[in-house]
Structure 1
């Protein structure tokens, strides 16, 4: 039997260091080399990517690799075919043993019904964002002559007008009817010359027109607040569209 010399404290320290080093090598070798190797050796399987596959395709692919599956959740995603895999666990390229169960989340077969949000009187961009947040697809746009440019006038689904609060399948596409900024209906220019400014405002706005630039003339001999000129003029058969501007010249000084 080999004897270890311990004639001095130095020999004892050397031998203790050697023994400690050997124990550390054995420890790390067992836990970080042998154990992982023995655990995965011969039966480690790479998990395939199942996202986007139908249930039948996913099942066939897992069968080929001796893996099992279980559907643990279902949700609805617009634009994705029913019964399509949305997510999986373990993730693709994970190493697992034969027979391991892969947990799947799939797209539901039937879309849930949701309430159509209020979209009228909104801008096209705001309405599109509201639809996407609600789980509906980006809408088609239908423009019509109206002075309310890029404003949603009404909403259609499958050619029929629908109101806010109507039930519609999640993932559906609606059509937004939007004003193009013009009005095809022409009208005569109302005459407001000689009227007081407050009266002229009522006439112009009541005709579907807007007050444009207002210019005051302190040199006018007409009573203060009287309309002395307008543009466009109401003579010579001038025509305007709904929403057009009418500029006014007013006698006197502007109000403080």
Structure 2
């Protein structure tokens, strides 16, 4: 067996020390220089809140933070713009590494079609709840002279009557035609000229009528808020039907 000669024990210790030092340099260099540089160890990025942003806005925000994204699901939420971010994972304020992919659920571009539920002969409150459960918006109300007070008489969409079972886009708003509890009988037009506006409202509504157009006249010499004219007029036994409107002219400027 060949023997490795050394000049002295000192050389052996020196060689061992050099080898040990090199191993230590490699160890610390790998774990504290190369690894952090290659994996961005310790360089955590805070995930921003993306909910409510459009896809374009979310992409710009993620690009600024060197993060990526992927759309994994889509659903429809009424009242939000198409392609709006609905949810995200990881959640906002999570700490992630550079280049991490954020998974998004977005609002669909096209609303799905649903069947209009049966709403007639229901109370307004029940019909509104049924619409919300079905994914439609809270409806507009249109009152009509009918003894069936607060009962849905028919449903309109886009100004046209629509039947239950008809297809309608989710998130749409319909109009409920509702009975006001009064029959279509003729009544005398109440006289409110000379009264204050608040008093006139009580008289008109108490007669089963509605306030129509209100026009203010800042040039009138009557005290502000006084009714100076009405249409229809109350002279000559004029009559109107329950639920009809009375237009009013009021002295002074309109309230702010």
Provide TM-score, normalisation by structure 2. Answer: 0.59
Structure 2: gaps (5+ residues):
none
Post-superposition Cα deviations, 1:183-229, rounded to whole Å, max 9, x if no partner, equal: 11369999999999999999999999999999999999999999999
2:35–2:41 CA contact under 8 A, matched in 1: no
Question: Which entry has the higher C-alpha Rg, 1 or 2?
Answer: 1
Number of aligned positions between the proteins: 256
Cα 1:16–1:98 change in 2 (3 A) is closer
- The farther-off stretch of 193-202 and 176-185 is 193-202
- Find the aligned partners of 2:42 and 2:105 in 1 and give their Cα distance: 30
Post-superposition Cα deviations, 1:146-172, rounded to whole Å, max 9, x if no partner, equal: 000000000000000000000000000
- Find the aligned partners of 2:211 and 2:45 in 1 and give their Cα distance: 76
| 1:102 aligned counterpart, secondary structure | strand
Cα 1:29–1:133 change in 2 (3 A) is farther
Cα 1:45–1:153 change in 2 (3 A) is same
2:190–2:204 CA contact under 8 A, matched in 1: yes
Cα 1:40–1:153 change in 2 (3 A) is same
Cα 1:140–1:203 change in 2 (3 A) is closer
Cα 1:7–1:204 change in 2 (3 A) is farther
Post-superposition Cα deviations, 1:78-126, rounded to whole Å, max 9, x if no partner, equal: 0000000000000000000111000000000000000000000000000
- Find the aligned partners of 2:233 and 2:200 in 1 and give their Cα distance: 14
- Find the aligned partners of 1:64 and 1:254 in 2 and give their Cα distance: 51
1:155–1:162 CA contact under 8 A, matched in 2: yes
Cα 1:207–1:32 change in 2 (3 A) is same
Structure 1 residue 177, shift from structure 2 partner: 0.1
1:182–1:241 CA contact under 8 A, matched in 2: no
1:5–1:11 CA contact under 8 A, matched in 2: no
Cα 1:30–1:111 change in 2 (3 A) is same
1:45–1:96 CA contact under 8 A, matched in 2: yes
Cα 1:248–1:18 change in 2 (3 A) is same
| 1:181 aligned counterpart, secondary structure | coil
- Find the aligned partners of 2:11 and 2:239 in 1 and give their Cα distance: 115
2:36–2:42 CA contact under 8 A, matched in 1: no
The list of structure 1 runs, each at least 4 consecutive aligned residues, that deviate by more than 6 angstroms after superposition, is: 1-40, 186-256
The alignment yields a C-alpha RMSD, in angstroms, of 14.0
Post-superposition Cα deviations, 1:38-94, rounded to whole Å, max 9, x if no partner, equal: 987432110000000000000010011110000000000000000000000000000
- The farther-off stretch of 13-22 and 244-253 is 244-253
Provide TM-score, normalisation by structure 1. Answer: 0.59
Cα 1:103–1:189 change in 2 (3 A) is closer
1:191–1:234 CA contact under 8 A, matched in 2: yes
Structure 1: gaps (5+ residues):
none
- Find the aligned partners of 1:85 and 1:218 in 2 and give their Cα distance: 51
